[in-house]
Chain A
């Protein structure tokens, strides 16, 4: 009897593993993606697979992969990229943790989750020899042969090269271009940096353009879905705890499509939200389901005109 009980307890650990602790889940893959643990041979990654601290995720040619970590951090890799999960620890009860993702080659877009929102100092990215700190951000990093370009779509980053006493701060709408081997860096608007990269190194410029292109279209949809998915810890609650507003272009004009967090107050089964940057009006969602996330598509030209896309559908 004791033997059976001991055995069953261990058997139960299998499915408990799917409860996701200190892991990221592959939510979308196009083409081929692999994972390498330590120095072993890389193995095929499939949608729904888990990756952990110490794993290196690799995408093939004409491929991409989107990873959603347990705290809600979303990272998308473009083609021919290699990223190591150098550190990922998350404590859902304390809502704290630390993240260090190292982009070895290629391009990635990173959108911070709860850890980055609560404790930005605990989230860093590495590319070549540069260390990138964040303050609640949505950024894209491209690295190739020691060159690093970081574009900041939202938030602020700090960019530091080895030996640099003070980091370089780069705000939303701007970018940094660095030759980490030579120890040089420059900052400017995103468009100016991309142009400068192309002028200095056509291959690098092409790579950056390629990454930017890949991050639109189907991959952008996959990223948006991953961002909107409730994290494992949130599914244990009985109310909506995350609402993401998407500013959609409209006939009346509106900001380019991006992903911003709505300003919401959630009480019980009702979320009252407004969509920045205009905060025109407010939107009330009555949540009928038990868990989920609602994405508000806010037409900034017309207040109180929003359509809800909810996962699972029908809860709002």
Chain B
């Protein structure tokens, strides 16, 4: 049960230390590029940029990504590698414009919220040209932003060059890691092919239905989707993207064939966010401070894993233990045959009243079942809960179990990870978000002891606090505002898959995921339109999906760039100040005491902002009646 999370965390911590050192070398330019790459780097380096130039470069780059991505998806039906099979004899059609908008903004912002199903709606061309390209560069955007912030905090004359940083991250970090992981995943059974979907005749005749050919019924084949999966999966995790090749994401046996691939994928998800904290310390030459930050994040992360595994893998599904009595039409409890263990350990058939919740005692040991709903048992009992904590702490968003099926209290873990968004967080932006909490922490600590707050020897004044608050508050505004709106309107109420508090949780989760640029979902929510031509869709478009497409698209865009722009300005502002000498009165940021201050600030602010929303969702669901409110 606990071996899997311990192995995952332990392996990632061990790898993150040398990898963080390597990343610091790359981003500081302390390497000699091979001759052909040197020529390209010289062309990409348009010169040193201040914070405004760096930020403008980020936004321009993303504007081009938006237009390019929209074009690729819009012309999908006419492009090559649009494989034809029995399910799609003419290949994949054009997605609806709102789905394209949502998909483009989603991948551009590293969210990978998928209001579509990969194998149903995207051709191989779109997967390779749009998805893979976006996965590499969108992941690099946050990474570059962190490097620029570090240079600002260091007081460097400039923040570097965005295009050169982007090149370094993609070519020297993501590409080699993806090649290595891709080879390992193929060796573990992941498909890598450009062949169309496999078509097989089922053993049971016409199990998939029939087609009428020349007046005769002909059995339909089973269509098994496959494709260049191993090209997408490594960067899906290294870049904390999360967008799956298949709709079932890493619960699909081709995306996650075995317990070994599950382990590799979890480590892949965590390695960059963990290493970037080390990189932060190395580049700033403040390793003790980085260790404090790393430790604070680790305490929260381990707590999240423990909470999820305890409430989901060690507690049964709530429906099994629900207290609603099951009565016959005369108002008396049903009497059924059941099995009980006798004193000698053998099973005996007995007559007993049906237990509350309608579950008959089965002839198995029901102790330690955990919540099996929505889980892929081939990974082991705690894999689903562990993955849910991993993927939402670092804003990845891939899933190996259905988060909608988590026990209510266990569902708090993925929501908390996304709401705090600084428990390691996404590569680059997680550390940037923690920087915002750091600034607030030193500010509050400075107020408490009656000294001017300072961070890394530079005074934190009104301008820095305003920028920190802009970066901090945009996230809860974009989570809570749209959640309240959609929960009150038919757009949300008619889209939920469950009534009452669980339905509210689905809405809350969707906007939290969009705002945190995570991309996972309590799926079951009706947010998929699909192809613009309704006749090509295998399932009916959800009636309010355009509202979801547009609302979550806007949330993703705003929540991606505002928490990058404001901290870049903050870092530049701090770096431009004169450094104050270190004295005995300076608030140290590299001590255990400061670690507790930082931890308290994160938890208190997070609780103030989000506990009421959690109380209406998963907490109400846990304490409410079965079926959840109704």
Decide whether A and B are members of one complex.
no
